[in-house]
Amino acid sequence: MERHQSNVSRHLSMSESPEKIIVGTRGSELALVQATATEGLLATAFPHAAICRQVITTTGDRRTDVSLSEVAKSEGTFDKGVFIKEIEEALAAGEIDIAVHSLKDMPTVLDNRFMLAAVLERAPVRDALIMRQPGGLSALREGATVGTSSVRRAKQIQWLRPDLNVIDLRGNVPTRLRKLAEQEDYDAILLAEAGLVRLDYLPALPVEEGGESILKIQGLYATRLEESIFFPAAGQGAIGLEVRSGDESSRRLCQTIGHTETWLRVTAEREFLRLLDAGCHTPVGVYSSVRGPEMQLKARVFPEAGGTPQTGEITGPAADPISLAQQLFHSLS
The share of the chain scoring above pLDDT 70, in percent, equals: 86
> Tens of pLDDT along 136-193?
999 999 999 999 989 999 999 999 999 999 999 988 899 999 999 998 899 999 999 9
Residue 231: pLDDT above 90?
yes
Residues identified as active-site: 105
* Res. 277 pLDDT band, cuts 50 70 90: confident
Bridge partners for 4 per DSSP: 258
Name the more confident of 275 and 210: 275
Provide φ and ψ at 91, rounded to 5°.
-65, -45
> Tens of pLDDT along 69-99?
554 444 444 445 677 889 999 999 999 999 9
Mean pLDDT of 268-286: 85
Residue 243: pLDDT above 90?
yes
In order of 146, 163, 180, 201, the CA distances from 141 in angstroms are: 11, 9, 16, 25
Mean pLDDT of 96-118: 94
Mean pLDDT of 115-134: 96
Mean pLDDT of 96-113: 93
| Homologous superfamily, domain 274-331 | Porphobilinogen deaminase, C-terminal domain (3.30.160.40)
Least-confidence region, from 15-24, 91-100, 117-126, 167-176: 15-24
Q: What is the pLDDT of residue 304?
A: 76
Name the more confident of 65 and 121: 121
Given this chain, do its domains 3-122+237-259 and 127-225 carry the same CATH topology? yes
Q: What is the pLDDT of residue 7?
A: 38
N residues, the chain: 333
Mean pLDDT of 15-24: 85
Q: What is the pLDDT of residue 278?
A: 64
Among the listed residues 239, 245, 248, 249, the one whose alpha carbon sits nearest the alpha carbon of residue 92: 245
Contacts of 66 (CB under 8 A, 6+ apart): 74, 170
Q: What is the pLDDT of residue 38?
A: 98
Neighbours of 112 (CB within 10 A): 7
Q: What is the pLDDT of residue 16?
A: 64
| Homologous superfamily, domain 127-225 | Periplasmic binding protein-like II (3.40.190.10)
Mean pLDDT of 17-34: 94
CATH assignment, 3-122+237-259: 3.40.190.10
Cβ(27)–Cβ(61) below 8 Å: yes
* Res. 8 pLDDT band, cuts 50 70 90: very low
Q: Determine the Cα–Cα distance for residues 211 and 226; give it in Å rounded to an integer.
A: 13
Average pLDDT over the chain, rounded to whole? 88
Q: What is the pLDDT of residue 333?
A: 85
Q: What is the pLDDT of residue 18?
A: 86
Residue 2: pLDDT above 70?
no
Q: What angle do CA 88, 91, 96 make, to 5 degrees?
A: 135
Contacts of 76 (CB under 8 A, 6+ apart): none
Least-confidence region, from 45-54, 69-78, 259-268: 69-78
Q: What is the pLDDT of residue 321?
A: 98
Domain positions in the chain: 3-122+237-259, 127-225, 274-331
Q: What is the pLDDT of residue 9?
A: 42
